[in-house]
Amino acid sequence: MRAAPLAGGAPGPEQLRPLLDTVLDALRAGAEDRGGPLPAGGPRAVAHQVREALGEALPEDGTGGAEALYAVVRAVTAGAADPAHPLCAAHLHTPPLALAAAADLAASVLNPSLDSWDQAPAASVLEELVTAALAAEAFPAAPRPDALVTTGGTESNQLALLLARERGGTVRTLVGANAHHSFRRAAWLLGLPEPVLVPAPNGTMDPAALEQALTDLPGPLLVAATAGTTDAGLVDPLPEIAELCAVHGGADLHVDAAYGGPLLFSDRHRPLLAGLDRARTVTVDLHKLGWQPAAAGLLAVRDADDLAVLGHSADYLNADDDTDAGLPDLLGRSLRTTRRPDVLKTAVTLRALGRSGLGALVDACMALAEELAERIEKAPGLELYARPTLTTVLFRPYGAPDDTVAGIRRTLLAEGRAVLGRATADGRLWLKATLLNPHATPGDLAQIITLVEGGIDR
């Protein structure tokens, strides 16, 4: 049997070329099969379609590369939630830029592993340059900022707690009631006390309640604020929180800006992140308002010296004599060992679009959220939770019980007509539209409202 061809090396591109045509054909056919933002029929129908397309998961004899590639990619595409569809607006699930997806193909073909220089000579340099530039966006006045590439907000938040623990021992984390669930999991994994919940009566951390908690609790303390809540896209009062941290015993501040962090690229909306640069660590996800294929997370630190505690030795990867001879030591750049060059797609995107290009995409999505909110306010049968801060809009039918709201959402999902999220606020269930597609149109927004209004009458 002839050995399967490889993607890399000089012959690799010619081996890939016909397969890329196969993938593109399968993506097109699968999208036509699906016909909308989500496959119709619900979980059972999707599971049946995938089983039929896959057949035996591990057959004795294979079917051949092109056939398998086409069949499986078409089935997964047909059964996918398509974040590029303007009516797929439930989660922080971004449509990736075509340019970034193409660059990600190169990362897969070259397959560098960023755990030693001899596996990733160029990629390690690229990561150093790009992370330095992005860290400087978060901490423009800091003399030595740095950033680590992560798989996303959960890993970044866990790293922030780990760094705080290594600085101060058994640190107590104070989080708003609006904070991401990853802080509880991180505290559990790191053997730290359960985070202290600070009230967030209006959806953002209450500074008065935080001040009382900082007064009552012994140190060391880490305050974790949020710039872009998952449910409503709200931003905690960062300047007040930073000032309270400085006044009360020098408590450290971490900001989870996984959602809102890319507002740094927008001249218009960057002021929403005032106070971010006073944090010690900041989480940012570029697979949200950065339009990168997952994963593209970052943990930015104000002082690169804070990362020294992540240093680790493995003789086959960073032997002392190799390091002394000038080979870069990469093991302290992550808790992972094998690590793909996720920075490549980001580097290409930053060079191609620049700060202004990315800022324009951010501005477009922010404007869409404002327009959707205005349309909801004018719709007599719908209620708007609040004007949006970022790109999340919460709304519901006037006077409808929660089970009706949930039923409208599930019906739209089952029919494959729209993908809306859900969030609880003010003790009620709301529909959530998270607008991350800069190509969406006013007509798409009107269709979201029409579909929800149609669900009320069922």
- Residue 96: predicted pLDDT: 97
pLDDT surpassing 90 at residue 219: no
DSSP-assigned letters across all residues of 39-77: -TTHHHHHHHHHHHHH-SSS-SS---HHHHHHHHHHHHH
If you average pLDDT over residues 216-243, what whole number do you get? 96
Q: pLDDT tens across 122-179, in order?
A: 999 999 999 999 999 999 999 999 999 999 999 999 999 999 999 999 999 999 999 9
| Sign of the four-CA dihedral 311, 313, 316, 319 | positive
Instruction: Show the tokens assigned to 249.
Output: 């015993």
**What is the pLDDT of the chain when averaged over all its residues?**
95
State the Cα–Cα distance between residues 108 and 275, nearest whole angstrom.
38
Place of tokens 């496959």: 39
State the Cα–Cα distance between residues 58 and 392, nearest whole angstrom.
42
State the Cα–Cα distance between residues 431 and 422, nearest whole angstrom.
5
- Residue 155: predicted pLDDT: 98
- Residue 62: predicted pLDDT: 83
Using pLDDT thresholds of 50, 70 and 90, give the confidence band for residue 2. low
- Residue 213: predicted pLDDT: 96
- Residue 455: predicted pLDDT: 75
pLDDT surpassing 60 at residue 10: yes
Instruction: Show the tokens assigned to 84.
Output: 């590029």
Q: pLDDT tens across 241-276, in order?
A: 999 999 987 799 999 999 999 999 999 999 999 999
SS (H, E, C) 352-370: HHHHHHHHHHHHHHHHHHH
If you average pLDDT over residues 361-365, what whole number do you get? 98
If you average pLDDT over residues 186-192, what whole number do you get? 97
- Residue 4: predicted pLDDT: 85
Using pLDDT thresholds of 50, 70 and 90, give the confidence band for residue 65. confident
Q: pLDDT tens across 370-394, in order?
A: 999 999 999 999 999 999 999 999 9
If you average pLDDT over residues 51-64, what whole number do you get? 88
Q: Which amino acid is at 225?
A: A
Per-residue CA distances from 186 to 155, 235, 290 (Å): 8, 22, 25
- Residue 1: predicted pLDDT: 53
Q: Which amino acid is at 437?
A: N
Q: pLDDT tens across 95-125, in order?
A: 999 999 999 999 999 999 999 999 999 999 9
- Residue 273: predicted pLDDT: 98
* Of residues 126, 101, 123, 110, the one with CA closest to residue 13: 110
- Secondary structure (3-state) at 375: helix
- Residue 457: predicted pLDDT: 64
